[in-house]
Amino acid sequence: MTSDLRQAKHPVSAVLAGPYGHPLHPALVSVPIGAWVASLVFDLASRLVTDPGFLARGSLWLIGLGVVGALAAAMVRFLDLLAIATGTAVFRVGLVHAGLNLAVTAGYLGGFLWRRTSDLSTSVGWGPLALSVACLATLAVSGWLGGTLAFRYGVRVADEATQATG
């Protein structure tokens, strides 16, 4: 195994990014993904019930929770990105993954601010709903790239010799 590949499997800081073979990023991303998917469900449900206010308010706070979770996941992922050799295909995939996640987080932050100025006693408007759908679609692409980083390139995954001992 080349030193560049071995480098990408080990954390820059085990305390902050998780120890070898146990990265924190995959665990942390479940918070924004879950919150944002649930917020879309709340958005859609708000258009189907007679008293949509509680769903609109719930969606707003789920989006806020997702933004906070995404920022935590991004800090850990940045440490993982630092472990990857620059100028490689895996580094380029990592940059695109990070850029898409940054765009998604910015989109949801914008959606959060947009909703804060809206009437939260009515169903979620078509504009914020469309923004959430676009952000989730972009997040799906970014998630696919994150899977490529882990499962194709083995970033922060234990090397084959370590896996063989299991």
The residue extents of the domains of the chain are: 22-158
Do the beta carbons of residue 85 and residue 91 sit within 8 Å? Answer: yes
Burial of 50 (0-12, 13-18, 19+ CB in 10 A): exposed
Instruction: Please report which confidence band the pLDDT of residue 112 belongs to, taking 50, 70 and 90 as the band edges.
Output: very high
Mean of pLDDT values over 9-33: 69
At 94 the pLDDT is 93
At 10 the pLDDT is 56
Q: What is the DSSP letter of 125?
A: P
At 156, phi and psi to the nearest 5?
60, 20
Q: What is the pTM of this model?
A: 0.84
At 24, phi and psi to the nearest 5?
-80, -30
* Tokens describing residue 113: 């601010």
pLDDT tens per residue across span 113-157 = 999 999 999 999 999 999 999 999 999 999 999 999 888 887 777
Please provide the distance, in angstroms rounded to a whole number, between the alpha carbons at the two ends of the chain: 19
At 2, phi and psi to the nearest 5?
-70, 160
